[in-house]
C-alpha cells in the first residue's frame, strides 16, 4: 500500500454528532486515510477534536484548511444548509471531496457543485453509504446474476419513531426549505438503495404529507411549528417494467424499522433491519423455488474496512472511505459521486411534484 491520503474534515466534534459517531471513528481506523486536519468554528473545540481523534492539525477557518498543501481530500460533514460553501472552496482548491447527503440544500446547489467538480477533474463522493453495505451489495449481485429470474415487483418501507420531540440542536430540521428532513434523508437513502439494487425508477405518483405539525423542543420545553414532511408514500414503475412501492415515515411510537422485498418469477429476496437502511445492521433472506426464506451468508470479500472499524453507524461510512480511496488511487469511480447525488435530488423534486399535482409523472428525462 502506498502513502495514506491526507484528509481534512469540516464539521468535526468530540461527541453527539454524526461526524463524531460515524466519520471520525471510521477515519481513525482507516488503512487508506490519514486524518490530517479537523475544522470547527472555534479554536478551542477544534483543538479538543484534534486531541480526541489524533489529527495532526486543528483549524477554525475552513478556507485555510481546505487550501493547505498538506491536505489531499476534504470531508464535508456540517449541517446540510452549510454544505455548499466548504465543498465549493475545496473543489476550487483542487481537493477530492466527500460530502454528506444531501449534497446541497437545493438541487441547484448540487448541480453547481457537480459541474465545478467535473471542470476541476477531481474525485467526488456523496454520503449514500447504504450502497457500501455488504448485504446491499450482495443483494444487488444476486439480482444481477438472475437469482430472482424476472423481477415482478419491489416493495420497501422504513418507519422510525420519535416524531413528537427534538432536542434543541435538531429543531432546525423542522423547516423544509433547509433541505434536511424525512423526504430528503430517510426517504432519499431508502430510494437510493432501492434503485441501486433493483434498477432505476421510471415513473411515480406520491403523497408527501406532514402529519405532525408541531414538535416539542425538549431543551427549551416549547412547541415549534413544523413544515418538514413525515410521511412519504410512493408507487410507481421501474424502467424494467416492475411496479414498485415505498413507504417512508416517522411516527410517534414503536417504529417497525426497514424492509425491502424484491419478488421475481424464480424467487424472493428480503433485506431488513431495525433502523434506516444506511444506519442499521441488515440481514438478507432468500427463497428460490420454494416458500421458505432462509438467511443468506454474505461473502467476507465485501467487507473492505479494517478490523478496528467499529460496527454500527461508522461501518458503512468506513466502507465508503475505502471505496473513496480506491477511486482516488485508481482514478476511477467506485463510490456514489456528485452526479449520483444530482440524480437523487431530481428524483426527490419529482416526488414533491407528483404529490402536489396528484398525478403519475415521468422521472426519466
Q: What is the pLDDT of residues 36-53, one digit of tens each?
A: 999 999 999 999 999 999
pLDDT, residue 216, reads: 97
Q: Is the pLDDT of residue 151 over 80?
A: yes
Dihedral of the alpha carbons of 312, 158, 338, 42, in degrees to the nearest 10: -50
Is residue 16 very low, low, confident or very high in pLDDT (cuts 50, 70, 90)? confident
Instruction: For Cα atoms 194, 196, 198, give the angle at the middle one, nearest 5 degrees.
Output: 60
What does the pLDDT read at residue 173? 95
Q: Is residue 15 over pLDDT 90?
A: no
Q: What structural domains does the chain harbor? A: 5-122 (3.40.50.720), 130-303+344-362 (3.30.360.10)
Averaged over 184-213, what is the pLDDT?
98
Q: What is the mean pLDDT of residues 222-234?
A: 97
Query: For residue 309, how many other CB atoms are within 10 A of its CB?
Result: 23
Strands lying side by side in the sheet with 222-225: 165-166, 214-217, 222-225
Please compute the mean of the pLDDT values over residues 240-265 and round it to a whole number.
97
What residues have CB less than 8 Å from 237, skipping those under 6 apart?
201, 202, 203, 243, 244
How many whole angstroms separate alpha carbon 187 and alpha carbon 136?
16
| % of residues, the chain, pLDDT over 90 | 97
- Residue 193 pLDDT grade (very low, low, confident, very high; cuts 50, 70, 90): very high
Note whether 321 and 129 are within 8 A (CB): no
For residues 339-352, give the mean pLDDT: 98
pLDDT at residue 365 in the model: 61
**Confidence check: pLDDT of 291 > 90:** yes
The sign one gets for the Cα dihedral 308, 311, 313, 315 is: positive
Asked whether the predicted pLDDT for residue 198 surpasses 80, the reply is: yes
Q: What distance in Å separates the CA atoms of residue 347 and residue 204, rounded to the nearest whole number?
A: 10
Instruction: Summarize the confidence of residues 248-264 as an average pLDDT.
Output: 97
Is the predicted pLDDT of residue 264 greater than 90, yes or no? yes
Averaged over 337-344, what is the pLDDT? Answer: 98
Give yes or no for residue 32 having a pLDDT over 80. yes
Reply yes or no on whether the pLDDT at 78 is more than 90.
Answer: yes
Q: How far apart are CA 239 and CA 203, in angstroms?
A: 8
Percent of the chain residues topping a pLDDT of 70: 99
Binning pLDDT at 50, 70 and 90, where does residue 1 land? low
Pairing of strands 231-238, 201-209: antiparallel
Q: Taking a C-beta distance cutoff of 8 angstroms, is the pair 231, 249 a contact?
A: yes
Mean pLDDT within 334-342:
98
User: What is the per-residue pLDDT for 7?
Assistant: 98
61-77 mean pLDDT: 96
φ, ψ (nearest 5 deg) of residue 15: -160, 160
Q: What is the mean pLDDT of the chain?
A: 96
Res. 330: pLDDT tops 70? yes
Amino acid at each position: 500500500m502506498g502513502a495514506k491520503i491526507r484528509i481534512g474534515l469540516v464539521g468535526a466534534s468530540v461527541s453527539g454528532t454524526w461526524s463524531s459517531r460515524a466519520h471520525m471513528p471510521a477515519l481513525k481506523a482507516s488503512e487508506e486515510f490519514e486524518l490530517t486536519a479537523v475544522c470547527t468554528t472555534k479554536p478551542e473545540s477544534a483543538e479538543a477534536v484534534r486531541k480526541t481523534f489524533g489529527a495532526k492539525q486543528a483549524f477554525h477557518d475552513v478556507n485555510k484548511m481546505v487550501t493547505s498543501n498538506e491536505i489531499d481530500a476534504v470531508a464535508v460533514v456540517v449541517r446540510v444548509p452549510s454544505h455548499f460553501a466548504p465543498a465549493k472552496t475545496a473543489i476550487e482548491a483542487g481537493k477530492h471531496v466527500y460530502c454528506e447527503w444531501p449534497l446541497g440544500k437545493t438541487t441547484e446547489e448540487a448541480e453547481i457543485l457537480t459541474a465545478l467538480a467535473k471542470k476541476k477533474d477531481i474525485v467526488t463522493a456523496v454520503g449514500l453509504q447504504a450502497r457500501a453495505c455488504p448485504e446491499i451489495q450482495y443483494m444487488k449481485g444476486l439480482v444481477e446474476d438472475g437469482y430472482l429470474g424476472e423481477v415482478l415487483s419491489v416493495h420497501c418501507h422504513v418507519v422510525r419513531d420519535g416524531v413528537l420531540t427534538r432536542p434543541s440542536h435538531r429543531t432546525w430540521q423542522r423547516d423544509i426549505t433547509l433541505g434536511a428532513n424525512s423526504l430528503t434523508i430517510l426517504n432519499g437513502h431508502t430510494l437510493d438503495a432501492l434503485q441501486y439494487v433493483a434498477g432505476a425508477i421510471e415513473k411515480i405518483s406520491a403523497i408527501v404529507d406532514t402529519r405532525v405539525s408541531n414538535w416539542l423542543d425538549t431543551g427549551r420545553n416549547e412547541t415549534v411549528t413544523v413544515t418538514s414532511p413525515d410521511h412519504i408514500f410512493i408507487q410507481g414503475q421501474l424502467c424494467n417494467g416492475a411496479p414498485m412501492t415505498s413507504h417512508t415515515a416517522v411516527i410517534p411510537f414503536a417504529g417497525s424499522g426497514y424492509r425491502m422485498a424484491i419478488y421475481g418469477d424464480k424467487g424472493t429476496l428480503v433485506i431488513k433491519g431495525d433502523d434506516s437502511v444506511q444506519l442499521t445492521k441488515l440481514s438478507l433472506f432468500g427463497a428460490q423455488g420454494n416458500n421458505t426464506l432462509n438467511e443468506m451468508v454474505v461473502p467476507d470479500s465485501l467487507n473492505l474496512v479494517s478490523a478496528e472499524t467499529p460496527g454500527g453507524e461508522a461501518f458503512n461510512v468506513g466502507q465508503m472511505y475505502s471505496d473513496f480511496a480506491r477511486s482516488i488511487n485508481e482514478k476511477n469511480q467506485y463510490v456514489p459521486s456528485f452526479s449520483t447525488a444530482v440524480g437523487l435530488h431530481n428524483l426527490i423534486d419529482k416526488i414533491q411534484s407528483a404529490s402536489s399535482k396528484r398525478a403519475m409523472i415521468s422521472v426519466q428525462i
